[in-house]
Structure 1
């Protein structure tokens, strides 16, 4: 502003000040518009408020948007609240979610950003084998609030094949498993072992293993709210640069860093 005022004649200073303030306002609005506000929940190790870059997938999403000229600001909430805030247009997006048909009424889906593999965790002293979900008849399973474990799982639960008791944290699920209050914990394999390493003592961790057969192989997405007129533009830019990341090999580098433990230490 001082540069504009400095070159104004005395009689024009008022007009120059007005012009300068207008330019500042436009610049401020532009800067603000280049921030993407994304609602998320804690899902270690992929998205975690306490990890470097908020976890590997949060880092990937941030870098993809950075290539498109945007800065990402993450808003950590319980998953249900993150969903609702985004669905009503309070956020520009929410991440990451598996595909569910009922979510399409609220959101546009990006191209997939993560391949997940869900397995059943169980106690080592309680041998467990299964071929289909009917083999879980009569069992008590753990789970997390706001999570979907896939259409087939949801249908079996609805039909009463097994029971499920949901809690707020992974730690609670595995503690209940150790106490034999539940028989199985369904969880993404990396997420499950991350919780075991972080939340339990080594002697407790040794008492838990997983069945090698996944009950769900799934892709997850960034969701852009239909309530926002900017969503299609943002999603198009995100998808375009995500494809470039895949083509260049940069996409894979985030998972190599993850496998090397570079996201394990707290901020």
Structure 2
């Protein structure tokens, strides 16, 4: 009799876990990846990077599977809005994005930056609104919303005409090196360091943060997840942060000073 009760309890536990997993992942999580190392990238058809490791850990803890696809950053929001993608990894919280995405806790502080070559410009400081009154051409990624100020300025034709967009960082970096554009916008300083390794090593560039703080999130498609689902998954992310797993992942990709900056202001 005791054995029967034990088997019944085991069965009920397994059943509850299956129901829990099915609710959070009725299908393998669909996630878009774009070239933005060390945050995320497809390397030899394998998804890698900080964001990838975090979502893989979340999936493992709730028993879900993931399917990664290479999708341009701007396109990811369209796909998440239609329910074709279940998550957006590493984006900031913006009013238009909140219409299609649930946000919970941020996991990193990643202020956007603007970069110039020292040999071309000798700015002591730089503000975005200066672009309107200067003979500058600045490269930015399609779909990136670098700051609230940037979004407001983009509504100004004089400012918007100075921004040259591309779907890939590589294209913008090549134009920057060829002096076909004067500056570059990056959503994270860590990504800038990856794409401009030579310039960082030579200390040949000027870097200006656009904001003091700008947090990045694991964002959840409203087409896929309910508020209750998000609370559950946010609890999983909280455990990943609190039990040291996040820090372990970060050490794979970032230096100690970078980690300190990325975690500043994160509760």
TM-score of the superposition, structure 2-length normalised? 0.74
Question: Residue 114 of structure 1: CA displacement?
Answer: 2.5
Is this contact kept in 1: 2:110–2:216, CA < 8 A? yes
71-80 or 97-106: bigger deviation: 71-80
Indicate the RMSD between aligned Cα atoms, in angstroms: 3.0
TM-score by length of 1: 0.74
- From 26, 49, 53, the equivalent of 2:42 is 49
Alpha-carbon distance, 1:78 to partner: 1.4
Question: Among residues 156, 177, 199, which one is paired with 2:153 in the alignment?
Answer: 156
Structure 1: which 5+ runs fail to align?
A: 1-25, 261-267
Mapped to 2, the partners of 1:154 and 1:210 lie a distance apart of 23
Shift of the alpha carbon at 1:161?
Answer: 4.4
Q: Does 1:68 align with 2:62?
A: yes
In 1, the alpha carbon distance for the partners of 2:245 and 2:88 equals 23
SS of the equivalent of 1:158 reads coil
- Once the two structures are superposed, the pairs formed by residues 154-233 of structure 1 within 5 Å of their partners are 154-159=151-156, 160-161=158-159, 163-187=162-186, 188-197=188-197, 202=198, 206=202, 208-211=204-207, 213-216=208-211, 217-228=213-224, 230-233=225-228
Judged with a 3 Å threshold, the aligned counterparts in structure 2 of structure 1 residues 179 and 92 are, in CA distance, closer, same or farther, namely: closer
Aligned to 1:245: 240
Matched positions, count: 229
CA distance in 2, matches of 1:248, 1:237: 17
1:76 and 1:243 map into 2 onto residues whose CA distance is 27
C-alpha contact 1:119 1:210 (8 A) present in aligned 2: no
| Cα gap change, 1:63 to 1:185, in 2 (>3 Å) | same
Higher Cα Rg, which structure: 1
Question: Does the C-alpha gap of structure 1 residues 203 and 116 become closer, same or farther in structure 2, counting only changes over 3 Å?
Answer: closer
- Change in Cα spacing, 1:149 to 1:47, as seen in structure 2 (3 Å) is same
CA contact (8 A) 1:92 1:231 kept: no
* SS of structure 2 residue aligned to 1:46: coil
Moved more, 38-47 or 57-66: 38-47
Give the one of 130, 138, 150 matched to 1:135. Answer: 130
